[in-house]
Structure 1
Amino acid sequence: MSVELSLRERKKAATRAALGRAAMLLAVERGPDGVTVEAIADAAGVSPRTFHNYFPGKEEAIVACLTDGAESLIDELRARPADEPIWESLRLVVRGLLQPERHEETAALLRLVRDNPALFAQHLSGLGEMERRISEVIAARTGTDPDRDLYPHLLAGSMGNAIRTATDLWVCGGGAASLADLVDEAFARLRAGLPGP
C-alpha cells in the first residue's frame, strides 16, 4: 500500500513539474501575458482541469520552477549530518540544487519575474513560505523554538537573502560570474558577520 501511495505521489510531483516547466518555457518565449492556462496544460499533455488541481493560476505555475525547489532544499537539509555546522549545511544544500544545465533558462525566468509585478509577488510569496519552513528545520537542528526564538528565522531569512542577492547579481551580470561562486561568497560573508570590504 505504501509503495502504491509513493508511486502516486511521484506521479503527482512529475505532473506538477511538467506543468511548471511548460509554464516557464512558454512565459520566457511569449511573455507572461501571452500565456494561457490552456496553452500550459496542452504543452504538458494534460487538461486545463488537471492544471487547476495543481495551480490556482498561471502566475503560480510560471514561478513554480523557482519556488518548488524549496521541497528538495528542506528534504536535503533534514538529511545533512546533525553535527555539521548549520551554515555549512545550508550552503551545501543550496549549492547542490543549482543546475548548471538550466542556468540560461533560469536567468531568463528571473529577468521575467523581476520585470513583472504579478510574477514578482508570487515569487516572493513562495520564498517567504520556503523561509518559514526552513526556519522550522533550523529550529529542530539547533534546539530552538520556532514560535519564540529569533535565531531560526534570522538564519532562514539570511539564507533567503543570500540566494536572492547572489542570483540577482548573477542575472544582472549576464551570467558572467559563476552562480555557485556567488552563493559561496554570499554565505561566507554572512557567516563572517558581514565584514566591510
Structure 2
Amino acid sequence: MIDSAPSDDVGLRERKRRQTRSALISGARALTLEHGLAGFTVEQLCDDVGVSRRTFFNYFPSKEDAVLGLSVDGPPEELLQRFVESGGGEHPVPLLEALLELAVVHADRMGITREDYEAMSAVLQREPQLIGRMFAAAEPTSRLLTELIAAREHLPADHPTPRVTTFVIGGLSRRSLDEFFAEGNTLTYPQLLHRNMEALRYLFPAPTGTTGPTPPIPQNQDPA
C-alpha cells in the first residue's frame, strides 16, 4: 500500500492536469465562437474557467495556442525514449509497429473528443487565419519525430527515409482522426490507425522471402 502512494499521486496530478488543460481549451474555443478571437482576453478566459493567469501560462504560451490546443509541454520523455530503444536489442520492433504505438499513446494522452473536433472545425471556419498557425506549430513536432526515427534506425540526420516516414505517418494519423470522428463510425482510433497502416503495408509489401520491413535505401545510392 505504501509503495502505491506515489503512483496514485502521479495519476491524480495527471488527471487534474488533463482536466485543467481541457477546460482551458474548451473555454477558449467557446469564447472564440461567441466573440471572435479578438473579442476576449486571457483574463476573461481564466475567470470563466476559474484558474489564475499564472496557471494559464503554465499550459499555453498564448490565447491562440489555447484555442488550438497547443500546450507548452511536449510528449513525455520516457515515451520518446521507449520509441528509440524499441529499435534495438535482440528482438527490435519493426518501425511501423513502433510508430503505431507512439501515435496511439499520443492520441490517448491528448484525449480529443467528438465535441472537441467539431468545436475546432467551427473555430477554424470562423477564424481561418489560425490554420496557418496550426500548421506552423506542427513543424517542430515533425522535426522531432524525424530526429527520433533517424536515431532509432541509426541513419544520418540528412537521410531521406526519416523525413518521408514522418510525412506519411502524419497523413495516416490525420486521415484516421477524420474517420474516427466521421458520422456513423463505430471503430476506435487505434483500430482505424491499424487498418490504415495495413493498407500501407499492402501498398509497399516486404520483398519475397523477408520477414521484416523493407530496409531503407542507403545514403547517396540509387534504388535498384
**What TM-score do the two structures reach when normalised by structure 1?**
0.71
Q: Cα distance 1:42–1:142, how it changes in 2: closer, same or farther (>3 A)?
A: same
User: Does the aligned pair in 1 maintain the 2:75–2:106 contact within 8 Å?
Assistant: no
Please, which moves more after superposition, 110-119 or 133-142?
A: 110-119
In the other structure, the counterpart of 1:94 is 103
Structure 1 regions of 5+ residues with no counterpart?
Answer: 1-10
- For residues 1-197 of structure 1, the aligned pairs below 5 Å read 20-32=21-33, 33=36, 35-48=40-53, 51-52=56-57, 54-64=59-69, 71-72=75-76, 75-80=78-83, 81-82=86-87, 83-99=92-108, 102-112=112-122, 114-115=124-125, 116-146=127-157, 148-171=158-181, 173-174=182-183, 176-178=185-187, 179-193=189-203
Choose between structure 1 and 2: higher helix proportion: 1
State the distance in 1 between where 2:147 and 2:106 align.
20
Counterparts in 2 of 1:23 and 1:125: CA distance versus 1, 3 Å: farther
- 1:45 shift after superposition: 4.1
Highest CA radius of gyration, 1 or 2? 2
Between 1:83-92 and 1:33-42, the stretch displaced more is: 33-42
Relative to structure 1, is the Cα distance of residues 85 and 137 closer, same or farther in structure 2, using a 3 angstrom cutoff?
same
Structure 1 pair 21–182 and aligned structure 2 pair: CA distance change class (3 A): same
Deviations 1:169-190 (A, max 9, x none): 333x236242332211222222
What's the Cα RMSD here?
Answer: 3.6
In structure 2, the residue corresponding to 1:59 is in which secondary structure? Answer: helix
- Seen in structure 2, the aligned counterparts of structure 1 residues 93 and 25 have a Cα distance that, compared at 3 Å, is same
Displacement of 1:191 in angstroms is 3.5
| Matches of 1:47 and 1:60, distance apart in 2 | 17
Q: Do the aligned partners of residues 163 and 109 (structure 1) sit closer, same or farther apart at CA in structure 2, a change above 3 Å counting?
A: farther
For 2:95, give the aligned amino acid.
Answer: I
User: Shift in Å at residue 96 of structure 1?
Assistant: 2.7
Q: 1:187 to 1:161 in 2, by over 3 A?
A: same
- Following superposition, the deviation at residue 62 of structure 1 comes to 2.0
Give the superposition deviation at 1:68: 6.7
Distance in 1 of aligned mates of 2:170 and 2:105: 15
Distance 1:69 1:167 in 2: 22
Query: What is the CA-CA distance between 1:86 and the residue it aligns to?
Result: 0.9
Which consecutive residues of structure 2, in runs of 5 or more, have no partner in the other structure?
Answer: 1-12, 206-224
Residues 50, 98 of structure 1: alpha-carbon distance in 2 compared, 3 angstrom cutoff: closer
* Residue type of the alignment partner of 2:97: E
CA pair 36-186 structure 1, distance change in 2 beyond 3 A = farther
Q: Give the match for residue 6 of structure 1.
A: none
The superposition leaves residues 98-149 of structure 1 with CA deviations (integer Å, 9 ceiling, x where unpaired) of 4497522332244235424233223222322211101111000101122x11
